[in-house]
Amino acid sequence: MSEELENLSNALFDNIVPNVWGDKGFLSLKPLASWTVELNNRIDFINNWIKNGTPTNYWIPGFFFP
C-alpha cells in the first residue's frame, strides 16, 4: 500500500477529511461525516440552480468557507 493510500485509510478510520479530498473540496473544520452531508447539500443546491434557474435566496456558505 502506498503512503497516500495509508493516509487516506487512516483519515477515514479517524473520521477526518482526507487531505486528498480536502485539497479538492471546500474548507471545513467538521468531521468527515458532517463534511459529507454538507458536500451533498452543496451539490443539491447547485443542481437545483442549474435545473430551476437562479434561486430567490442564496445559501452563502455553499459558495465559500465563512
pLDDT score of 28: 83
pLDDT tens readout for residues 15-36? 999 998 888 888 888 999 999 9
Question: What's the whole-model pTM score?
Answer: 0.74
pLDDT tens readout for residues 35-55? 999 899 888 988 988 999 988
**Angle at CA 22, nearest 5°, toward 34 and 61?**
55
